[in-house]
């Protein structure tokens, strides 16, 4: 149980640090107008949300094997251009793909979930900003 909670807390802590940095730079804690506060909060939620969402999409692509072709290509180039490489013993892409899929882990959606939640909070702050007369 503890091993499942720690990664969530780490990602939440990093996103909270980015949130605070953006909120302080936008002057959320010193603003008097509600529209300024909502505008700053929207930016403060959006920045870590986009970073986590994009990182989550990249990790889903990596766990899904999208980048396997690039790894195989670099491995093939290394075999082709080094004097120690043995092209006759080099495995084909299909065999390489099957071996990678056997070792591949399950995707972990926590980064994508946290990024989506932060972007939804940013959308809520944007709605509040527009209703406050921004």
Q: What was the pLDDT predicted at 134?
A: 64
Helix 34-64 vs helix 2-26: angle between axes, to the nearest 10 degrees? Answer: 140
pLDDT tens figures, 41-86: 999 999 999 999 999 999 988 888 888 889 888 888 887 777 766 6
What is the residue-wise DSSP string for the chain?
-HHHHHHHHHHHHHHHHHHHHHHHHHTTTT--SHHHHHHHHHHHHHHHHHHHHHHHHHHHHHHHTTTHHHHHHHHHHHHHHSTT--GGGPPPHHHHHHHHHHHPPPP-THHHHHHHHHHHHHHHHHHHHHHTT-
In the block, tokens 């889903």 appear at: 60
* Higher-pLDDT residue of 41, 134: 41
pLDDT at 122 over 80: yes
Q: Domain residues of the chain, as ranges?
A: 1-63+109-134, 66-103
pLDDT tens figures, 95-121: 888 888 888 888 888 999 999 999 999
Whether the Cβ atoms of residue 80 and residue 87 lie closer than 8 Å to each other: yes
* Out of 18-22, 30-34, 46-50, 103-107, least confident range: 103-107
CA angle (88 as vertex; 83, 89 as ends), nearest 5 = 90
Q: What was the pLDDT predicted at 80?
A: 77
Q: What was the pLDDT predicted at 75?
A: 84
Q: What was the pLDDT predicted at 84?
A: 67
Q: Which residues contact 78 (CB under 8 A, 6 or more apart)?
A: 85
Q: What was the pLDDT predicted at 23?
A: 94
Encoded tokens for 81? 């251009």
């Amino acid at each position: 149980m503890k091993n499942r909670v720690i990664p969530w807390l780490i990602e939440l802590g990093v996103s909270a640090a980015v949130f605070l940095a953006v909120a302080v730079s936008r002057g959320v804690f010193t603003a008097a107008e509600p529209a300024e506060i909502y505008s700053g909060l929207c930016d403060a939620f959006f920045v870590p949300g986009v970073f986590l969402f994009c990182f989550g999409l990249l990790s889903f692509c990596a766990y899904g094997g999208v980048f396997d072709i690039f790894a195989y290509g670099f491995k093939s180039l290394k075999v082709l251009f080094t004097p120690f490489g043995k092209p006759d013993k080099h495995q084909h892409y299909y065999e390489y793909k099957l071996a990678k899929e056997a070792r591949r882990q399950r995707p972990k959606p926590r980064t994508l979930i946290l990024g989506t939640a932060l972007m939804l909070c940013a959308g809520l702050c944007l709605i509040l900003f527009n209703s406050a007369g921004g």
